[in-house]
Amino acid sequence: MASVTPAPSIAHVSSEKMLTRIGGLLRQAESTDNPHESDAFMAAAQRLATTASIDLAVARAHASGREKRTTPIQRLITVGEPGKKGLRTYAQLFLVIAAANDVQCDIAQSSAVIYAYGFASDIDTCEALYSSLLIQMVRASDAYIKSGEYRSETTVRTVTEWRGHRRVQAKVRRPVAGVTARLNFQLAYSQRIGKRLEAARTETQTVAEADTPGTAVALRDKELELRDYYRSESRARGTWRGAKASAGHSSSARRAGDRAARTARLGNSPELGVATKQLP
Protein backbone atom coordinates (compact mmCIF):
# COMPACT_ATOMS: atom_id res chain seq x y z
CA MET A 1 0.00 0.00 0.00
CA ALA A 2 1.38 3.38 -0.96
CA SER A 3 1.99 5.80 1.84
CA VAL A 4 0.06 9.03 1.89
CA THR A 5 1.78 12.25 2.91
CA PRO A 6 -0.53 14.25 5.16
CA ALA A 7 -1.39 17.77 4.08
CA PRO A 8 0.34 20.47 6.15
CA SER A 9 -1.81 22.07 8.79
CA ILE A 10 -3.13 25.60 8.34
CA ALA A 11 -1.04 26.75 11.30
CA HIS A 12 2.14 25.30 9.76
CA VAL A 13 1.54 26.92 6.38
CA SER A 14 0.82 30.27 8.00
CA SER A 15 4.01 30.00 10.03
CA GLU A 16 6.10 29.24 6.94
CA LYS A 17 4.60 32.17 5.04
CA MET A 18 5.16 34.48 7.98
CA LEU A 19 8.83 33.47 8.27
CA THR A 20 9.36 34.01 4.55
CA ARG A 21 7.77 37.48 4.67
CA ILE A 22 9.83 38.48 7.68
CA GLY A 23 12.92 37.20 5.88
CA GLY A 24 12.18 39.68 3.11
CA LEU A 25 12.01 42.53 5.61
CA LEU A 26 15.31 41.49 7.12
CA ARG A 27 17.04 41.41 3.77
CA GLN A 28 15.87 44.99 3.22
CA ALA A 29 17.19 45.95 6.65
CA GLU A 30 20.58 44.47 5.76
CA SER A 31 20.74 46.31 2.44
CA THR A 32 20.37 49.83 3.84
CA ASP A 33 22.95 52.02 5.54
CA ASN A 34 20.28 54.38 6.82
CA PRO A 35 19.73 53.69 10.55
CA HIS A 36 16.19 55.08 10.42
CA GLU A 37 15.27 52.70 7.61
CA SER A 38 16.90 49.83 9.46
CA ASP A 39 14.89 50.64 12.57
CA ALA A 40 11.70 50.78 10.53
CA PHE A 41 12.35 47.36 8.99
CA MET A 42 13.07 45.86 12.42
CA ALA A 43 9.86 47.25 13.86
CA ALA A 44 7.97 45.98 10.83
CA ALA A 45 9.42 42.50 11.34
CA GLN A 46 8.29 42.44 14.97
CA ARG A 47 4.84 43.78 14.05
CA LEU A 48 4.47 41.05 11.44
CA ALA A 49 5.49 38.40 13.95
CA THR A 50 3.00 39.76 16.47
CA THR A 51 0.24 39.87 13.86
CA ALA A 52 0.87 36.24 12.92
CA SER A 53 0.80 35.27 16.58
CA ILE A 54 -2.51 37.12 17.08
CA ASP A 55 -4.01 35.48 13.99
CA LEU A 56 -3.07 32.05 15.32
CA ALA A 57 -4.59 32.83 18.73
CA VAL A 58 -7.86 33.99 17.14
CA ALA A 59 -7.97 30.94 14.85
CA ARG A 60 -7.44 28.63 17.80
CA ALA A 61 -10.23 30.35 19.71
CA HIS A 62 -12.66 29.58 16.87
CA ALA A 63 -11.47 26.02 16.18
CA SER A 64 -14.15 23.37 16.45
CA GLY A 65 -13.77 20.32 18.63
CA ARG A 66 -12.91 18.17 15.59
CA GLU A 67 -9.99 20.34 14.56
CA LYS A 68 -6.56 19.76 16.01
CA ARG A 69 -5.50 22.78 18.01
CA THR A 70 -1.89 23.81 18.30
CA THR A 71 -0.60 23.60 21.84
CA PRO A 72 2.39 25.04 23.71
CA ILE A 73 5.69 23.18 23.63
CA GLN A 74 9.00 23.27 25.46
CA ARG A 75 12.23 23.78 23.51
CA LEU A 76 15.84 23.73 24.66
CA ILE A 77 17.91 26.75 23.60
CA THR A 78 21.69 26.33 23.86
CA VAL A 79 23.32 29.65 24.73
CA GLY A 80 26.88 28.34 24.88
CA GLU A 81 29.29 26.01 26.62
CA PRO A 82 29.13 26.14 30.45
CA GLY A 83 31.88 28.37 31.81
CA LYS A 84 32.18 30.47 28.65
CA LYS A 85 32.49 34.18 29.39
CA GLY A 86 29.58 36.42 28.47
CA LEU A 87 26.83 33.81 28.73
CA ARG A 88 24.72 35.96 31.07
CA THR A 89 24.48 38.85 28.66
CA TYR A 90 23.77 36.43 25.80
CA ALA A 91 20.99 34.84 27.84
CA GLN A 92 19.64 38.26 28.80
CA LEU A 93 19.30 39.13 25.11
CA PHE A 94 17.22 36.01 24.45
CA LEU A 95 15.02 36.71 27.48
CA VAL A 96 14.07 40.23 26.34
CA ILE A 97 13.26 38.90 22.87
CA ALA A 98 11.14 36.13 24.42
CA ALA A 99 9.27 38.63 26.60
CA ALA A 100 8.14 40.49 23.48
CA ASN A 101 6.95 37.31 21.76
CA ASP A 102 4.79 35.41 24.28
CA VAL A 103 7.49 32.95 25.33
CA GLN A 104 8.25 32.11 28.96
CA CYS A 105 11.67 30.89 29.98
CA ASP A 106 13.60 29.00 32.62
CA ILE A 107 17.37 29.24 32.66
CA ALA A 108 20.17 27.15 34.09
CA GLN A 109 22.28 28.77 36.78
CA SER A 110 25.25 28.50 34.42
CA SER A 111 23.30 30.59 31.87
CA ALA A 112 24.35 28.02 29.26
CA VAL A 113 20.86 26.65 28.60
CA ILE A 114 17.40 28.23 28.35
CA TYR A 115 14.15 26.25 28.48
CA ALA A 116 11.64 28.10 26.30
CA TYR A 117 7.88 27.51 26.76
CA GLY A 118 5.45 28.75 24.14
CA PHE A 119 3.85 28.07 20.79
CA ALA A 120 6.25 26.76 18.16
CA SER A 121 5.90 29.73 15.80
CA ASP A 122 6.61 32.19 18.62
CA ILE A 123 9.74 30.28 19.67
CA ASP A 124 10.85 30.14 16.01
CA THR A 125 10.62 33.93 15.88
CA CYS A 126 12.61 34.29 19.12
CA GLU A 127 15.39 32.00 17.90
CA ALA A 128 15.69 33.83 14.61
CA LEU A 129 15.81 37.29 16.18
CA TYR A 130 18.28 36.07 18.79
CA SER A 131 20.58 34.48 16.23
CA SER A 132 20.86 37.71 14.25
CA LEU A 133 20.98 40.14 17.16
CA LEU A 134 23.52 38.10 19.15
CA ILE A 135 26.05 38.21 16.34
CA GLN A 136 25.45 41.94 15.90
CA MET A 137 25.81 42.57 19.64
CA VAL A 138 29.11 40.71 19.85
CA ARG A 139 30.51 42.43 16.76
CA ALA A 140 29.44 45.86 17.98
CA SER A 141 30.93 45.31 21.44
CA ASP A 142 34.17 44.03 19.88
CA ALA A 143 34.41 47.20 17.78
CA TYR A 144 33.77 49.35 20.84
CA ILE A 145 36.48 47.61 22.86
CA LYS A 146 38.98 47.92 19.99
CA SER A 147 38.23 51.66 19.77
CA GLY A 148 39.63 52.11 23.28
CA GLU A 149 36.98 54.71 24.11
CA TYR A 150 36.38 53.15 27.53
CA ARG A 151 39.99 53.67 28.64
CA SER A 152 39.42 57.34 29.42
CA GLU A 153 36.76 56.45 32.01
CA THR A 154 37.13 55.36 35.63
CA THR A 155 34.77 53.48 37.91
CA VAL A 156 34.39 53.08 41.66
CA ARG A 157 35.14 49.61 43.02
CA THR A 158 35.09 48.14 46.51
CA VAL A 159 38.43 46.63 47.53
CA THR A 160 39.71 44.97 50.67
CA GLU A 161 42.68 46.63 52.37
CA TRP A 162 44.77 45.86 55.45
CA ARG A 163 45.21 48.72 57.87
CA GLY A 164 47.54 47.45 60.53
CA HIS A 165 45.98 44.23 61.74
CA ARG A 166 42.52 45.18 60.52
CA ARG A 167 41.00 44.21 57.22
CA VAL A 168 38.65 46.89 55.91
CA GLN A 169 36.72 47.53 52.74
CA ALA A 170 37.24 50.78 50.92
CA LYS A 171 35.88 52.36 47.76
CA VAL A 172 38.55 53.31 45.27
CA ARG A 173 38.46 54.68 41.75
CA ARG A 174 40.02 52.49 39.10
CA PRO A 175 40.27 52.61 35.29
CA VAL A 176 37.46 50.72 33.57
CA ALA A 177 38.62 47.25 32.55
CA GLY A 178 37.83 45.85 29.13
CA VAL A 179 35.61 43.11 30.56
CA THR A 180 33.62 45.71 32.51
CA ALA A 181 33.15 47.86 29.41
CA ARG A 182 32.04 44.88 27.35
CA LEU A 183 29.52 43.75 29.98
CA ASN A 184 28.01 47.23 30.31
CA PHE A 185 27.84 47.60 26.53
CA GLN A 186 25.98 44.33 26.09
CA LEU A 187 23.63 44.99 29.00
CA ALA A 188 22.58 48.32 27.51
CA TYR A 189 22.27 46.70 24.08
CA SER A 190 19.85 44.01 25.25
CA GLN A 191 17.80 46.51 27.27
CA ARG A 192 17.32 48.77 24.26
CA ILE A 193 16.45 45.84 21.98
CA GLY A 194 13.81 44.73 24.48
CA LYS A 195 12.22 48.18 24.49
CA ARG A 196 12.16 48.38 20.70
CA LEU A 197 10.54 44.98 20.27
CA GLU A 198 8.02 45.57 23.04
CA ALA A 199 6.99 48.91 21.52
CA ALA A 200 6.32 47.29 18.15
CA ARG A 201 4.38 44.46 19.80
CA THR A 202 2.22 46.83 21.88
CA GLU A 203 1.38 48.97 18.86
CA THR A 204 0.32 45.93 16.84
CA GLN A 205 -1.82 44.44 19.61
CA THR A 206 -3.57 47.74 20.26
CA VAL A 207 -4.56 48.09 16.61
CA ALA A 208 -5.68 44.45 16.35
CA GLU A 209 -7.83 44.66 19.48
CA ALA A 210 -9.52 47.80 18.16
CA ASP A 211 -10.12 46.44 14.65
CA THR A 212 -10.99 42.79 15.26
CA PRO A 213 -13.65 41.78 17.80
CA GLY A 214 -12.60 38.90 20.01
CA THR A 215 -8.86 39.53 19.70
CA ALA A 216 -8.41 40.60 23.31
CA VAL A 217 -10.28 37.51 24.56
CA ALA A 218 -8.27 35.20 22.30
CA LEU A 219 -4.99 36.68 23.49
CA ARG A 220 -6.09 36.36 27.11
CA ASP A 221 -7.01 32.71 26.54
CA LYS A 222 -3.62 32.12 24.94
CA GLU A 223 -1.89 33.76 27.90
CA LEU A 224 -3.79 31.57 30.36
CA GLU A 225 -3.09 28.40 28.40
CA LEU A 226 0.62 29.19 28.23
CA ARG A 227 0.69 30.03 31.93
CA ASP A 228 -0.98 26.71 32.84
CA TYR A 229 1.39 24.80 30.56
CA TYR A 230 4.41 26.51 32.07
CA ARG A 231 3.27 25.76 35.61
CA SER A 232 2.73 22.11 34.80
CA GLU A 233 6.02 21.60 32.91
CA SER A 234 8.52 23.91 34.59
CA ARG A 235 10.92 22.33 37.06
CA ALA A 236 12.76 25.54 37.86
CA ARG A 237 14.06 26.03 41.36
CA GLY A 238 15.80 29.06 42.81
CA THR A 239 16.41 32.44 41.19
CA TRP A 240 18.66 33.31 38.28
CA ARG A 241 21.00 36.12 39.26
CA GLY A 242 20.77 37.62 35.82
CA ALA A 243 23.20 39.74 33.92
CA LYS A 244 24.66 42.57 35.93
CA ALA A 245 27.77 44.69 35.86
CA SER A 246 29.19 43.45 39.17
CA ALA A 247 32.69 44.51 38.16
CA GLY A 248 31.71 48.16 37.88
CA HIS A 249 29.75 50.68 35.87
CA SER A 250 30.78 52.30 32.62
CA SER A 251 28.56 55.14 31.39
CA SER A 252 30.46 55.35 28.12
CA ALA A 253 29.95 51.66 27.38
CA ARG A 254 26.27 51.87 28.32
CA ARG A 255 25.71 54.77 25.92
CA ALA A 256 27.60 53.00 23.14
CA GLY A 257 25.62 49.79 23.65
CA ASP A 258 22.35 51.69 23.58
CA ARG A 259 23.35 53.46 20.35
CA ALA A 260 24.31 50.17 18.70
CA ALA A 261 20.99 48.57 19.63
CA ARG A 262 18.98 51.51 18.28
CA THR A 263 20.30 50.81 14.77
CA ALA A 264 20.64 47.01 14.99
CA ARG A 265 19.51 45.09 11.95
CA LEU A 266 17.78 41.73 12.05
CA GLY A 267 19.35 38.80 10.30
CA ASN A 268 21.61 38.03 7.37
CA SER A 269 19.88 34.84 6.24
CA PRO A 270 17.11 34.83 3.62
CA GLU A 271 14.70 33.08 5.98
CA LEU A 272 14.31 33.21 9.72
CA GLY A 273 13.77 29.50 10.08
CA VAL A 274 17.47 28.64 9.61
CA ALA A 275 18.76 30.51 12.64
CA THR A 276 21.67 29.08 14.57
CA LYS A 277 20.99 28.35 18.22
CA GLN A 278 24.48 28.96 19.53
CA LEU A 279 27.14 31.55 18.89
CA PRO A 280 30.10 29.93 17.10
Give residue-wise pLDDT tens across range 66-108. 455 678 999 999 999 988 888 999 999 999 999 999 999 999 9
Q: Above 90 in pLDDT, residue 132?
A: no
Instruction: List pLDDT tens digits, range 16-64.
Output: 676 667 666 655 655 566 666 766 776 777 887 888 788 778 777 766 5
pLDDT digits (tens, 9 = 90+) for 225-273: 999 999 999 998 877 776 665 556 778 888 888 888 877 765 433 333 3
Which band of pLDDT confidence, cut at 50, 70 and 90, is reported for residue 137?
A: confident
For 184, how many CA atoms within 13 A lie in the half-sphere containing its CB?
Answer: 22
What does the pLDDT average to over 161-185? Answer: 78
Residue 49 has a pLDDT of: 81
Q: What is the pTM of this model?
A: 0.76
> What's the CA gap between 51 and 59, in Å, rounded?
12
Give pLDDT, residue 159: 66
Q: What is the 3-state secondary structure (H, E, C) of the chain?
A: CCCCCCCCCHHHHHHHHHHHHHHHHHHHHHCCCCHHHHHHHHHHHHHHHHHHHHHHHHHHHCCCCCCCCCCCEEEEEECCCCCCCCHHHHHHHHHHHHHCCCCEEEECCCCCEEEEEECHHHHHHHHHHHHHHHHHHHHHHHHHHHHCHHHHCEEEEEEEEEECCEEEEEEEEEECCHHHHHHHHHHHHHHHHHHHHHHHHHHHHHHHHHHCCCHHHHHHHHHHHHHHHHHHHCCCCCCCCCCCCCCCCCHHHHHHHHHHHHCCCCCCCCCHHHCCCCCC
pLDDT number for residue 273: 38
CA dihedral 209, 220, 23, 274 (to 10 degrees): 180
Mean pLDDT, rounded, for 149-178: 75
pLDDT single digits (tens) 193-217: 899 899 989 998 999 899 888 889 9
User: CA nearest 141: which of 185, 90, 84?
Assistant: 185
Question: What does the alpha-carbon distance between residue 50 and residue 71 come to, in Å, rounded to a whole number?
Answer: 17
Asked whether 130 and 141 are in contact (CB, 8 A), the reply is no
pLDDT at 68: 58
pLDDT at 125 over 60: yes
In the structure, what pLDDT confidence band is assigned to residue 3 with cuts at 50, 70 and 90? very low
Query: What is the distance between the alpha carbons of residues 91 and 105, in angstroms, rounded to a whole number?
Result: 10
Confidence of residue 11 (pLDDT cuts 50, 70, 90): very low
| Pairing assessment for the beta strands 154-163 and 113-118 based on DSSP bridges | unpaired
